[in-house]
Amino acid sequence: MKRVGVFICHCGSNISAVVDVNSVAEAAKKIPNVAYVTHYKYMCSDPGQEEIVKAVNEHNLNRVVVASCSPRLHEPTFQKTLQRAGLNPYLLEIANIREQCSWVHSKFKDLATAKAIALIRMMVAKAAENVPLLRPSVYIRKKALVIGGGIAGMQAALDIADAGYPVVLVERDNTIGGKMAMLDKTFPTLDCSA
């Protein structure tokens, strides 16, 4: 059975000043497969994340929807939270009710609230279809290629080499040094450049 938990974030007042989080929470309770709903001032904070871990365990949740900012920002954060709660990180979905809702509809509070509910409904439906995914891993060959033998390439090659890894430094000209070696003195200390 799918048991989805919905966690609505206020983002301080970034979301809650526009979207009526209380009525969003009430509406979310009626969405199919939703087993638990709560809202909190900062879902990404330590106590916010603990709220998720606690709810997953207490209410036996197996899918999580966080309604908050863009997944580009905190998807990795909440994936780790799910792992701590014992769930596969890919059973998480983020409903973006900040960038795609409160920030762009700040003048239309009622409509923004309705849109937030719709976004959450969509992500709950998607989360119900989610399956656990495993991260494949690849072997890492410990040898670096640096393309370009100017000051940037030389510095990177030296730092990697100093850490003990082999480096191949490729330069198309017949000397390294790049543009910097062409200069006379360098500002602001006027030390030589070659």
Partner 1 sequence: MVAASQHPNITLMTYSEVEEVGGYVGNFRVKIRQKAKSVNHDLCTGCGICWEKCPNTILNEYNQGLNLRKAIYIRFPQAVPNKPVIDRENCRQFQMDGKCGVCKEVCQAGAIDYEQQDLILEEEFGSIVVATGFDLFAWEKAYGEYGYGKYPDVISGLQFERMSNSSGPTEGKILRPSDGKEPQRVVFIKCVGSRDDAKGKSYCSKVCCMYTAKHAHQVLEKIEGSEVYVFYIDVRTPGKGYEEFYRHSLEEGALYIRGRVSNIIPKNSSLIVRGEDTLLGRQVEVEADLVVLATAMTPSYGSDAVARMIGIGTDKDGFFEEAHPKLRPVECHTAGVYLAGTCQGVKDIPDTVSQASGSAVKVCALFSVDERELDPLTSSVNESICSGCSTCVLVCPFKAIEIKTVTERFYGQTLQRQVAAVNEALCQGCGTCTAACRSGAINLKGFTNEQILAEVKAACL
Q: Write out the binding residues for partner 1, residues 52-111 only, by CB under 8 A.
A: 90
CB of 117 to partner 1, least distance (A): 10
DSSP assignments along 60-107, one per residue = T--EEEEEES-HHHHHHHHHHHHHHTTS-GGGEEEEE-IIIIITT-TT
Does residue 89 have a cis peptide bond before it, meaning omega lies within 30 degrees of 0? no
The CA-based angle 45-46-52, given to 5 degrees, is 90
CB of 57 to partner 1, least distance (A): 25
Q: Any contact of residue 166 with partner 1 (CB under 8 A)? A: yes
Rg of the Cα trace of the chain?
A: 25
CB of 1 to partner 1, least distance (A): 16
Query: Taking contact as CB under 8 A, which single stretch among the options 2-10, 42-50, 62-70, 185-193 is the one that binds partner 1?
Result: 185-193
Query: Taking contact as CB under 8 A, which single stretch among the options 3-11, 40-48, 51-59, 154-162 is the one that binds partner 1?
Result: 154-162
Pick from 26, 49, 53, 46: nearest CA to 37: 26
Q: In whole angstroms, what is the distance from residue 61 CA to residue 131 CA?
A: 14
Q: Write out the binding residues for partner 1, residues 22-41 only, by CB under 8 A.
A: none
> Mask 111-130, x = binds partner 1 (CB under 8 A)?
-------x--xxxxxx-xxx
- Which CB sits closer to partner 1, 98 or 115? 115
CB of 58 to partner 1, least distance (A): 26
53 in Cβ contact with 82 (< 8 Å): no
Pick from 72, 42, 43: nearest CA to 55: 43
CB of 65 to partner 1, least distance (A): 11
Q: Any contact of residue 173 with partner 1 (CB under 8 A)? A: yes
